[in-house]
């Protein structure tokens, strides 16, 4: 029987009086189902595809972390490691919020549309009947406020 710990099902074949039979067991429900060869090959191909993607991700980014752990699997503490530091993110966001509160209404308007939402300065200027240089100056003033607080 083929049993890979990374997947939600087990695949195996039996030979009953010269007749090959193909089986799948769903791990979550322990339900066993007989399938045809085409289905077995498809499931096995999917396993290989997923396994290759996992291996590629592991080679490119280190350890693959997962919350899906079965009782019979060995578990290391690596999946508990949070790569993002929540405390740093919260502090950074509070500093950003403090700077945003100091923006003038026009600066906030440009910040919201051009910096947060990614609208081009020229497009913003055209839509709001402003000159490009005015919008660029407002953006530069916003940058200075952020640089002042973060440097």
Q: Where are the domains of the chain?
A: 9-80, 86-150
CATH of 86-150, one of 3.30.300, 1.10.10, 1.25.40, 2.40.50: 1.10.10
pTM of the model: 0.45
Using a pLDDT cut of 70, give the percent of the chain over it: 74
What does the longest C-alpha to C-alpha distance in the chain come to? 85
- Does the pLDDT at position 17 exceed 60? yes
Positive/negative CA dihedral, 44, 50, 56, 59: negative
Residue 74 pLDDT greater than 80, yes or no: no
Q: Is 121:136 a contact under the CB 8 Å cutoff?
A: yes
């Amino acid at each position: 029987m083929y049993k890979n710990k990374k997947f939600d099902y087990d695949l195996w074949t039996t030979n009953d009086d010269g007749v090959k039979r193909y089986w799948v067991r769903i791990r979550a429900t322990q339900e066993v189902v007989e399938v045809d060869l085409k289905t077995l090959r498809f499931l096995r191909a999917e396993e290989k595809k997923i396994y290759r993607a996992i291996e590629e991700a592991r080679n490119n980014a280190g350890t693959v972390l997962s919350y899906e752990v079965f009782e019979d699997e060995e578990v290391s503490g690596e999946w508990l490691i949070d790569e993002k530091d929540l405390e740093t993110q919260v502090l950074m966001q509070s500093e950003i919020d403090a700077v945003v509160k100091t923006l003038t209404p026009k600066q906030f308007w440009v910040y919201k549309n051009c910096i947060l939402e990614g609208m081009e300065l020229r497009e913003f200027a055209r839509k709001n009947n402003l000159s490009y240089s005015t919008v660029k100056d407002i953006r530069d003033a916003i940058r200075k406020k952020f640089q002042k607080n973060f440097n």
